[in-house]
């Protein structure tokens, strides 16, 4: 008897369809499978798509007929390939949603290219965040290519592609830079084509100044938060000028009260640094840990459900809720607390070199952006209009 196993979509979920001509004995065996159901639409028995269910089906009915499994074998092979291209921790969709991912629709050659691309990034120990960004940027090109292998592209092809995404897709300059970085990594680091991108110009980035809050707005923001844990998070972000990812990853042991320092481990660029621990913040954190239930065990701010690091999106939402409640209309996110920390230090006379080290910047030019938003020197500059008015040369 022929038994045909086919990949199917049932209620938008991938399943293994079990097809055979009616046989009472075989039907009784199939019904013994845990979780098996009948599909009236597809006129077959089915189980959720998984390698373990596939093995179990063959085990139960292996002596009852000839198996036709080529379609399932291809499906499970592609499933494994797509899984290998995911970024652990940041891109881990459920097994049943892989068929809906962009990677699933790629040609076999381009899916293999994506797999090698992600593998090389992991071997070079790129951070999960960078890995996710590069993967997303690379896959935008792959899905556009359809059946054309990506390794066949020339420098001229890449130039036309960059012009296309800038003019037709309206991609912004910062995204274009990120796209070039990802493609450059593939062609030069994976394929070994040195200087492949020399002839591909980068669009000029707009010089956007950091967005920040003034001291009055920050006070209103803090006062709009009632939850002590949420308040402690925002206090920590502003007091030490931390990125949201750094707040999430702070461990209790990183707070060094004897040296009055906070250790920021493996921050951006996999770089450790120390920042000052405010005596006031130390008292607040001690009180928070003492009174909060359940008491955090490892991370300073733990998820109550999983006891793991607090999700960055949740902290961003806490900031957004506080901003709205405080009536602050500026379009800023939690990163503005870091910008405000740096600018306010600069206005109070702190040397920019120290601010660079506190923020963990690699290049002083990154920190120098705050010179352009600091009011310290601007308030002492008199407009020539004021001088002209004082001399009574003009009238209102």
Are 196 and 321 in contact by the 8 Å Cβ rule? The answer is no
Active site residue 126: no
pLDDT of 195 above 80: yes
Are 320 and 332 in contact by the 8 Å Cβ rule? The answer is no
Residue-averaged pLDDT of the chain? 85
pLDDT of 96 above 50: no
Q: What is the mean pLDDT of residues 100-104?
A: 81
Q: Are residues 236 and 352 in the same domain?
A: yes
Q: Are residues 119 and 164 in the same domain?
A: yes
The catalytic residue among 135, 229, 243, 344 is 243
Of 164-168, 221-225, 244-248, 380-384, the range with the lowest mean pLDDT is 380-384
- Asked if residue 177 is part of any domain, the answer here is yes
Q: Taking CA 203 as the corner, what is the angle to CA 202 and CA 205, rounded to the nearest 5 degrees?
A: 115
Q: Are residues 62 and 118 in the same domain?
A: no
Kindly report the CATH number assigned to the domain that includes residue 14: 3.30.70
pLDDT of 50 above 70: yes
Q: Are residues 68 and 109 in the same domain?
A: no
Q: Are residues 129 and 243 in the same domain?
A: no
The catalytic residue among 64, 268, 325, 369 is 268
C-alpha distances (whole Å) from 345 to each of 239, 255, 322, 358 are 11, 22, 23, 11
Neighbours of 195 (CB within 10 A): 9
Please report, rounded to a whole number, the percentage of residues in the chain having pLDDT higher than 90: 44
pLDDT of 212 above 90: no
Strand 13-19 to 255-256 pairing: unpaired
pLDDT of 389 above 70: no
* Chosen domain end from 78, 99, 114: 78
Q: Are residues 253 and 352 in the same domain?
A: yes
Q: Are residues 157 and 23 in the same domain?
A: no
Question: In whole angstroms, what is the distance from residue 278 CA to residue 246 CA?
Answer: 17
Of 128-132, 270-274, 282-286, the range with the lowest mean pLDDT is 270-274
Q: What is the pLDDT of residue 317?
A: 95
- As for how many domains the chain has, the answer is 3
Both tokens assigned to 280: 């006031």
Q: What is the pLDDT of residue 376?
A: 54
Of 42-51, 234-243, 350-359, 364-373, the range with the lowest mean pLDDT is 364-373
- Asked if residue 386 is part of any domain, the answer here is no
Q: Are residues 298 and 366 in the same domain?
A: yes
Q: Are residues 54 and 97 in the same domain?
A: no
- Asked if residue 201 is part of any domain, the answer here is no
pLDDT of 189 above 70: yes
The catalytic residue among 6, 179, 230, 338 is 338
Kindly report the CATH number assigned to the domain that includes residue 253: 1.10.443.10
- Asked if residue 200 is part of any domain, the answer here is no
Both tokens assigned to 161: 């592609």
19 vs 370, more confident: 19
pLDDT digit string, tens, across residues 315-338: 999 999 999 999 999 999 999 998
- Asked if residue 267 is part of any domain, the answer here is yes
Q: What is the pLDDT of residue 366?
A: 67
Q: What is the pLDDT of residue 276?
A: 86
Predicted TM-score of the model (pTM): 0.70
Neighbours of 7 (CB within 10 A): 18
The catalytic residue among 238, 288, 310, 370 is 370
- Asked if residue 382 is part of any domain, the answer here is no
DSSP string, 305-373: TT-SBPPHHHHHHHHHHHHHHTT--S---THHHHHHHHHHHHHTT--HHHHHHHHT-SSHHHHGGGGGT
**Residues facing 299 on adjacent strands:** 251
Neighbours of 199 (CB within 10 A): 10
Q: Are residues 149 and 250 in the same domain?
A: no
Which residues are within 8 A (CB) of 149 and not within 5 positions of it... i.e. 6 or more apart? Answer: 107, 109, 110, 113
Kindly report the CATH number assigned to the domain that includes residue 136: 1.10.150.130
Are 296 and 302 in contact by the 8 Å Cβ rule? The answer is yes
Active site residue 335: yes
Highest mean pLDDT of the ranges 10-14, 136-140, 380-384:
136-140
Of 278, 217, 270, 221, the closest CA to residue 246 belongs to 270
Q: What is the pLDDT of residue 29?
A: 87
Q: What is the pLDDT of residue 151?
A: 96
Active site residue 361: yes
Active site residue 268: yes
pLDDT digit string, tens, across residues 243-283: 899 999 999 999 999 988 899 888 777 788 888 888 889 99
- Asked if residue 355 is part of any domain, the answer here is yes
Both tokens assigned to 316: 């961003």
Which residues are within 8 A (CB) of 311 and not within 5 positions of it... i.e. 6 or more apart? Answer: 248, 303
C-alpha distances (whole Å) from 130 to each of 136, 142, 369 are 10, 18, 23
pLDDT of 367 above 80: no
pLDDT of 95 above 50: no
pLDDT of 346 above 90: no
Q: Are residues 103 and 174 in the same domain?
A: yes
Question: Domain range holding 110?
Answer: 88-190
Active site residue 338: yes
Q: What is the pLDDT of residue 92?
A: 47
Q: What is the pLDDT of residue 387?
A: 60
DSSP-assigned letter for residue 87: -
- Asked if residue 298 is part of any domain, the answer here is yes
Q: Are residues 258 and 355 in the same domain?
A: yes
């Amino acid at each position: 008897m022929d038994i045909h196993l086919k990949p199917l979509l049932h209620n938008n979920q991938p399943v293994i369809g079990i097809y055979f001509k009616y046989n009472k004995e075989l039907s009784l065996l199939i019904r013994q499978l845990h979780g098996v159901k009948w599909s009236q639409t597809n006129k077959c028995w089915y189980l959720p798509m998984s390698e373990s269910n596939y093995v179990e089906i063959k085990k139960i009915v292996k002596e009852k007929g000839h198996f036709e499994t080529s379609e399932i074998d291809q499906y499970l092979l592609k499933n494994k390939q797509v899984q290998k291209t995911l970024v652990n921790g940041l891109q881990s969709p459920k097994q049943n949603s892989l068929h809906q991912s962009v990677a699933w629709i790629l040609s076999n050659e381009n899916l293999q290219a994506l797999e090698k691309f992600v593998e090389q990034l992991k071997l070079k120990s790129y951070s999960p965040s960078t890995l996710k960004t590069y993967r997303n940027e690379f896959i935008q090109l792959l899905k556009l290519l359809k059946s054309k292998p990506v390794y066949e592209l020339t420098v001229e092809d890449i130039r036309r592609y960059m012009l296309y995404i800038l003019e037709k897709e309206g991609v912004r300059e910062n995204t274009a830079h990120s796209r070039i970085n990802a493609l450059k990594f593939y062609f030069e680091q994976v394929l070994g084509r040195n200087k492949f991108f020399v002839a591909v110009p980068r669009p000029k980035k707009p010089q956007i100044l950091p967005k920040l809050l003034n001291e009055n707005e920050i006070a209103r923001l803090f006062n709009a938060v009632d939850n002590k844990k949420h308040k402690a998070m925002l206090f920590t972000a502003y007091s030490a000028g931390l990125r949201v990812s750094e707040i999430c990853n702070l461990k209790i042991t990183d707070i060094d009260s004897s040296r009055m320092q906070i250790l920021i481990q493996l921050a951006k660029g996999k770089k450790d640094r120390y920042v000052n621990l405010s005596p006031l913040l130390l008292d607040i954190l001690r009180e928070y840990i003492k009174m909060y239930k359940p008491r955090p065990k490892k991370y300073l701010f733990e998820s109550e459900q999983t006891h793991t690091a607090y999700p960055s999106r949740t902290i961003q939402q806490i900031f957004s809720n506080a901003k709205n409640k405080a009536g602050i209309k500026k379009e800023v996110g939690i990163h503005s607390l870091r910008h405000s920390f740096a600018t306010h230090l600069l206005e109070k006379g702190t040397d920019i070199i120290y601010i660079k080290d506190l923020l963990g910047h690699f290049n002083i030019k990154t920190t120098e952006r705050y010179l352009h938003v600091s009011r310290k020197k601007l308030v002492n500059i008199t407009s020539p209009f004021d001088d002209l008015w004082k001399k009574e040369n003009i009238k209102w």
